[in-house]
């Protein structure tokens, strides 16, 4: 362990040095070794991410190193354990922001590789690092534009992100340590916290839900994600608003618990509507902005189609709510009555 | 973002000002450019490569970045715009040239504010292009999932490729609803947008799916620029395509098919002399015969190439052997097809005389050896009739007649197995009223020479055989050298003389009479083939009645190869 901590400290120091004039002395060998060390740290991250004990020791080591480096190098940015997963990226960024970067190093980073070398993902040295990243991202941009033209949901990125999320959850539940729930919750909360304003979080979660699950860990991940969604009503509301109905129905059809929560969301959605006398229609208020009356009826219809048994219960419920609203057959007095009218015609 | 400098559009006459202006306007929109501009960009990538190469040469010829900026004042703006145009940076060559240009402009020791600013600009463009476009969700996932950014982008790319390829196959409705619009209608425009992706190995499945689409939907058309780019990438830059996609490429791109045939011929004919069996093994592993069996138009083109080459180098035995082997592989592939998939043979040989086609196409192994003689007689009579008709025809139809004879000859080259059988039968002992007096004489003199114990330097039979060969070659209807050689070689194989003696005789005659060792080896390789001698581990069991012949064939092959190598040395 001591060796690992030492290496961690050395790599953090290397990253600090990469933003100084010292890089003027770097040659190809130095650069390659720097890329190898950062790759090593990426491996450390993947190996010990779920190991609470070792991770804490490593975090403590990084803290100590950060403190001493902050004192030595002005403008030094701390390295956290989670940054280790993108260690090569951090190194590359630091080098490219350094005015002292020698021409030879720029040449190596931009260098071309043969297609064979390009296919080697675990390529360790720095040759063509920028070239490969630019190649990959440019191709993604060309394809993304084409994909978006024909498919609204989900985007290719959201599918990959959904897979990544599920794989992380699988790793958390597959560890056997029993700490899976805590780790999974931590990840989802931090994602929600950082990206609250991002609509694509919803897309990521929706794609994550559509995965086929077979192993115990996969089933546990899927179950946890649904449970977590049920506890985050806001998230669930957004899901109904932004994700195509057929994606939601897949979950509604398969999972009783989810169905119950989904019905609650629909009730909440309906009860938040007010009748706009000028426009002559029901309009959403509060958190359901954007969720029109038509959209709501779409969801009800889809629900009835997916679960015919639910139809009877729901219609009885709507009738009861209409009655309690005075049982008038006039549009605009009871949202339940108007829903019932639309759904039974 | 652009480099500082004088008025960017004052172009010095070093480069084509119009070209620079064209690309300035083309690259102005970056990722937000209109679909038409994107397609234009992709269609003209070749032009852009040329321009960038010219610019790079100029940059490399200047002593400093300041000088380069002075001579090419538009440089910063042009490079900046092109860097943010994904359809440009997705093309491997343009990307390499752009990055080399940036590298060329980067100063080791910046000596002026312009050079310092240029260095800063280059570093920040590289940094932004390679690291800075991750949304917060990606960042969080990269930090928590153990997928480094480079892998993440690769995963996204693969996912997009697989989603788009799947959709390509799914969305075609031309078969189920022919009257409606089909998504394949847009394939032409899509294929133009994808031109730069042919240099991206990860995009190969999508390129393949597009090529295969054209084979299944009549509405699917690919742009010629796209096909040219795919063809070049497939032949030269290692673009990996599934067999079906390659066949589809050949069907739509003639240059690509031609290059495939020529490179196959090159690999078969260059280097060491291949035996018939090795040639066939190589061809059997190759896609061409299989593709030709399924698509008659492909076979016709390949055949045209063979026809042209055979006319140019008429007596080239190795080329004839390749044509023969190719035809055998092709026929085998046709036989493997389901009857409903098989096109009639007439579609593959439209100009060949009908009466010859079937008799020559049938392999000798599918007929009892007792029937060979009659079958050959029938073929010979048909050939004779054809040549007589050609000689009798008047001037108007003369050309047509010649063509018919040529087609018959070509078919004979393609089906050379029957020529080999004929040579074997001519020299086999047994009853038979073989007409060719010259051939019989050659046979008997070869036998005499082989049996003559005197040293070859002073051998009388050798002199007499050589004389005969010269006279046979000079007759008004000369005996083909290949046939003469075939008789000599077969005599050596069938004679009872010691192997060493037989070998010495064959080598001496070949050398003295100016015959080609290579052709002798081709003859041996064919007779080895008829004897069923398979490679080095051929069946040489002692109970085998042909064992002696097999041993001698192999010994002769080895000796001749050795002698030929000594000659070449």
Structural domain including A164 reads 151-231
| Whether residue A203 sits in one domain with residue A86 | no
| Whether residue A143 sits in one domain with residue A55 | yes
Which has more pLDDT, B491 or A129?
Answer: A129
How many domains are there within chain A?
Answer: 3
Residue A274's SS3 state is: strand
Per-residue model confidence (pLDDT) at position A210: 83
Looking at A201, A231, A261, which one is the last position of a domain?
A231
Residue A266's SS3 state is: helix
Cβ of B157 and A139 within 8 Å?
yes
Predicted confidence band of residue B225 (pLDDT cuts 50, 70, 90)? very high
| Whether residue A317 sits in one domain with residue A242 | yes
The tens digit of pLDDT for each residue in A82-109 reads 899 999 999 999 999 999 999 999 999 9
Contacts of B142 in chain A (CB under 8 A): 85-86
Contacts of B90 in chain A (CB under 8 A): 135, 138-139, 141-142
Q: Identify which of B102, B138, B164 has the shortest CB distance to residue A161.
A: B138
The CA-atom distances, in angstroms, between B319 and each of B61, B74, B175, B276 are 49, 56, 44, 11
A242/B contact by beta carbon, under 8 A: no
A46/B contact by beta carbon, under 8 A: yes
A124/B contact by beta carbon, under 8 A: no
Highest mean pLDDT among A4-13, B281-290, B314-323: A4-13
Cβ of A143 and B150 within 8 Å?
no
Percent pLDDT > 90 in chain B is 28
Provide ipTM, 2 decimals: 0.83
Residues B237, B243, B248, B252, CA torsion sign: positive
Which has more pLDDT, B438 or A3?
Answer: A3
Lowest mean pLDDT among B52-61, B425-434, B459-468: B425-434
Work out the average pLDDT over B464-490. Answer: 72
Cβ of A135 and B152 within 8 Å?
no
Work out the average pLDDT over A111-131. Answer: 66
Predicted confidence band of residue A226 (pLDDT cuts 50, 70, 90)? confident
Work out the average pLDDT over B380-405. Answer: 72
Which of A35, A38, A130, A138 should be substituted to probe chain B, the one whose Cβ sees the most B Cβ atoms within 10 Å? A138
Percent pLDDT > 70 in chain A is 94
Contacts of B163 in chain A (CB under 8 A): 147, 151, 156, 159
Predicted confidence band of residue B569 (pLDDT cuts 50, 70, 90)? very low
Per-residue pLDDT for A233 more than 60? yes
| Whether residue A266 sits in one domain with residue A179 | no
CB neighbours of residue B518 within 10 Å: 16
| Whether residue A47 sits in one domain with residue A35 | yes
| Whether residue A270 sits in one domain with residue A178 | no
| Whether residue A179 sits in one domain with residue A130 | no
Looking at A111, A127, A148, which one is the last position of a domain?
A148
| Whether residue A239 sits in one domain with residue A183 | no
| Whether residue A114 sits in one domain with residue A20 | yes
Q: Identify which of B123, B141, B167 has the shortest CB distance to residue A150.
A: B167
Per-residue model confidence (pLDDT) at position B407: 84
Burial letters A233-262, b for 16+ CB under 10 A, else e: eebbbbbbbbbebebbbebbeebeebbebb
Per-residue model confidence (pLDDT) at position B506: 80
Cβ of B107 and A103 within 8 Å?
yes
Cβ of A110 and B102 within 8 Å?
yes
Lowest mean pLDDT among A318-322, B23-27, B550-554: B550-554
| Whether residue A58 sits in one domain with residue A78 | yes
SS3 for B453-485 is: CCCHHHCHHHHHHHHHHHHHHHCCCCCCHHHHH
| Whether residue A89 sits in one domain with residue A132 | yes
B530, burial (CB in 10 Å: exposed 0-12, middle 13-18, buried 19+) = middle
Looking at A196, A231, A266, which one is the last position of a domain?
A231
Per-residue pLDDT for B171 more than 60? yes
- Residues 6 or more apart whose Cβ sits within 8 Å of residue B137: A161, A191, A195, A198, A200, A201, A204
Predicted confidence band of residue B157 (pLDDT cuts 50, 70, 90)? very high
Please state, in angstroms and rounded to a whole number, the distance separating the CA atoms of residues B321 and B326.
8
| Whether residue A142 sits in one domain with residue A3 | yes
Per-residue pLDDT for B3 more than 90? no
The tens digit of pLDDT for each residue in A8-67 reads 999 999 999 999 999 999 999 999 999 999 999 999 998 898 888 999 999 999 999 999
CATH number at residue A245: 1.25.40.490
Please state, in angstroms and rounded to a whole number, the distance separating the CA atoms of residues B556 and B140.
74
Per-position DSSP letters for B245-258, written without gaps between them? HHHHHHHH-HHHHH
Length of chain A, in residues:
345
Please state, in angstroms and rounded to a whole number, the distance separating the CA atoms of residues B515 and B537.
30
């Amino acid at each position: 362990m001591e060796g690992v901590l030492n290496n961690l400290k050395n790599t953090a120091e290397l990253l600090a040095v990469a933003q100084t004039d010292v890089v003027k002395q770097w040659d190809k060998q130095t650069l390659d070794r720097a890329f190898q060390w950062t790759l090593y740290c990426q491996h450390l991250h993947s190996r010990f991410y779920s190991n609470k004990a070792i991770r804490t020791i490593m975090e403590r080591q990084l803290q100590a190193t950060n403190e001493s480096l902050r004192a030595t190098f002005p403008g030094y940015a701390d390295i956290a354990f989670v940054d280790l997963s993108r260690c090569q990226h951090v190194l590359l960024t630091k080098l490219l922001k350094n005015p002292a970067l020698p021409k030879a190093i720029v040449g190596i980073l931009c260098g071309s590789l043969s297609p064979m070398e390009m296919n080697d993902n675990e390529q360790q040295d720095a040759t063509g690092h920028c070239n490969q990243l630019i190649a990959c991202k440019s191709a993604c941009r060309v394809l993304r534009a084409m994909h978006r033209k024909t498919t609204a949901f989900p985007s290719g990125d959201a599918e990959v992100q959904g897979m990544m999320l599920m794989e992380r959850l699988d790793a958390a539940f597959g560890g056997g340590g029993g700490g899976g729930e805590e780790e999974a919750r931590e990840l989802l909360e931090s994602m929600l916290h950082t990206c609250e304003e991002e609509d694509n979080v919803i897309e990521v979660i929706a794609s994550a839900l559509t995965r086929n699950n077979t192993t115990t860990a996969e089933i546990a991940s899927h179950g946890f994600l649904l449970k977590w969604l049920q506890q985050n009503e806001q998230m669930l509301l957004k899901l109904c608003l932004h994700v195509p109905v057929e994606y939601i129905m897949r979950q509604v059809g398969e999972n009783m618990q989810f169905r119950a929560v989904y019905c609650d969301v629909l009730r909440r959605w309906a009860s938040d509507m007010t009748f706009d006398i000028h426009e002559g229609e029901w309009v959403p208020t509060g958190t359901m902005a954007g969720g029109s009356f038509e959209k709501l009826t779409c969801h009800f219809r889809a629900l009835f189609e997916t679960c015919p048994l639910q139809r009877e219960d729901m219609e009885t419920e709507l009738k009861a709510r209409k009655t309690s609203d005075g049982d008038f057959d006039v549009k605009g007095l009871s949202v339940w009555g108007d829903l019932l009218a639309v759904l039974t015609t | 973002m652009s480099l500082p400098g004088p008025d960017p559009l004052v172009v010095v006459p070093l480069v084509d000002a119009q070209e620079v202006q064209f690309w300035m306007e083309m690259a102005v929109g970056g990722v937000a450019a209109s679909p038409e501009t994107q397609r234009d960009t992709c269609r003209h990538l070749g032009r852009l490569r040329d321009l960038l190469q010219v610019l790079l040469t100029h940059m490399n010829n200047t002593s400093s970045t300041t000088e380069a900026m002075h001579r090419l004042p538009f440089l910063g703006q042009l490079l900046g715009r092109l860097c943010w145009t994904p359809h440009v940076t997705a093309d491997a060559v343009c990307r390499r040239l752009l990055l080399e240009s940036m590298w060329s402009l980067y100063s080791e020791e910046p000596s002026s504010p312009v050079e310092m600013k240029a260095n800063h600009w280059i570093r920040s463009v590289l940094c932004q292009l390679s690291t800075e476009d991750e949304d917060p969700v990606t960042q969080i996932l990269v930090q928590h999932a153990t997928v480094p950014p480079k892998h993440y982008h690769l995963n996204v790319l693969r996912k997009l490729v697989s989603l788009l390829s799947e959709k390509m196959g799914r969305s075609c409705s031309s078969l189920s609803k022919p009257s409606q619009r089909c998504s394949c209608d847009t394939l032409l425009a899509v294929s133009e947008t994808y031109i730069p992706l042919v240099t991206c190995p990860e995009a190969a499945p999508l390129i393949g799916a597009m090529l295969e689409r054209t084979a299944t939907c009549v509405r699917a058309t690919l742009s010629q620029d796209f096909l040219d780019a795919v063809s070049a990438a497939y032949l030269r830059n290692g673009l990996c395509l599934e067999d079906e996609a390659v066949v589809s490429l050949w069907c739509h791109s003639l240059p690509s098919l031609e290059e495939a045939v020529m490179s196959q011929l090159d690999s078969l004919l260059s280097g060491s002399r291949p035996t018939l069996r090795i040639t066939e093994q190589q061809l059997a592993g190759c896609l061409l015969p299989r593709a030709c069996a399924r698509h008659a138009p492909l076979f016709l083109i390949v055949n045209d190439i063979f026809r042209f080459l055979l006319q140019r180098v008429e007596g080239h035995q190795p080329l004839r052997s390749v044509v023969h082997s190719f035809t055998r592989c092709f026929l085998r592939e046709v036989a493997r097809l389901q009857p409903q998939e098989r096109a009639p043979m007439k579609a593959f040989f439209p100009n060949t005389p009908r009466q010859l086609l079937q008799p020559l196409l049938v392999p000798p192994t599918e007929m009892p050896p007792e029937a060979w003689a009659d079958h050959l007689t029938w073929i010979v009579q048909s050939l004779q009739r054809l040549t007589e008709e050609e000689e009798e025809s008047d001037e108007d139809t003369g050309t047509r007649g010649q063509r018919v004879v040529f087609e018959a000859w070509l078919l004979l080259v393609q089906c050379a197995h029957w020529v080999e059988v004929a040579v074997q039968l001519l020299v086999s002992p047994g009853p038979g009223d073989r007409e060719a007096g010259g051939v019989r004489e050659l046979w008997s003199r070869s036998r005499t020479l082989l049996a003559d114990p005197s040293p070859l330097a002073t051998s009388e039979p050798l002199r007499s055989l050589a004389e005969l060969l010269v006279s046979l070659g000079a007759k008004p209807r000369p005996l083909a050298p290949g046939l003469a050689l075939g008789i000599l070689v077969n005599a050596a194989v069938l004679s009872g003389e010691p192997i060493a003696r037989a070998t010495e005789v064959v080598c001496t005659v070949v050398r003295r009479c100016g015959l080609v060792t290579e052709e002798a080896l081709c003859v041996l390789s064919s007779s080895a083939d008829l004897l069923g001698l398979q490679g080095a581990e051929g069946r040489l069991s002692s109970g085998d009645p042909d064992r002696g012949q097999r041993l001698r064939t192999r010994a002769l092959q080895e000796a001749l190869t050795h002698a030929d190598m000594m000659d070449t040395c």
